[in-house]
């Protein structure tokens, strides 16, 4: 019986080196900033659940507003 090739070997070490090289370009944030952005993501998830449950225009408006605020925060963290 011959063996069948059923997978792919992925060189994670080269991916890790590439990620470490990218880290030098990334900007670290302080713990206070991290708590604020995590809270914004938590609020977004709560609003998603509310919008899914209620399915009303007001819930979608609140969700859109939260997304605008979060998008601005994320864009500020990621230089283009």
Q: Each residue of 60-77: pLDDT tens digit?
A: 999 999 999 999 888 887
Range of the domain at 42: 29-77
How many angstroms separate the CA atoms of 69 and 3, rounded?
54
CA-wise closest residue to 74 among 28, 37, 45: 37
Tell me whether residue 48 is in a domain: yes
Q: Per the domain annotation, does 19 fall within a domain?
A: no
Please check the confidence at residue 53 and state whether its pLDDT lies above 70. Answer: yes
Cut 0.85: pTM above it? no
Number of domains in the chain: 1
CA distance 79 to 65: 23
Termini Cα distance of the chain: 54
State pLDDT tens for residues 19-34. 666 665 556 656 666 7
């Amino acid at each position: 019986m011959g063996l069948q090739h059923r997978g792919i070997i992925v060189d994670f070490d080269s991916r890790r080196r590439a990620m470490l090289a990218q880290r030098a370009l990334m900007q670290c944030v302080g713990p206070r900033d991290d708590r604020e952005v995590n809270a914004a993501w938590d609020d977004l998830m709560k609003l998603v659940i509310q919008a899914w449950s209620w399915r009303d225009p007001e819930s979608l408006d609140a969700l859109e507003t939260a997304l605008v605020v979060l998008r601005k925060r994320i864009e500020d963290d990621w230089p283009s």
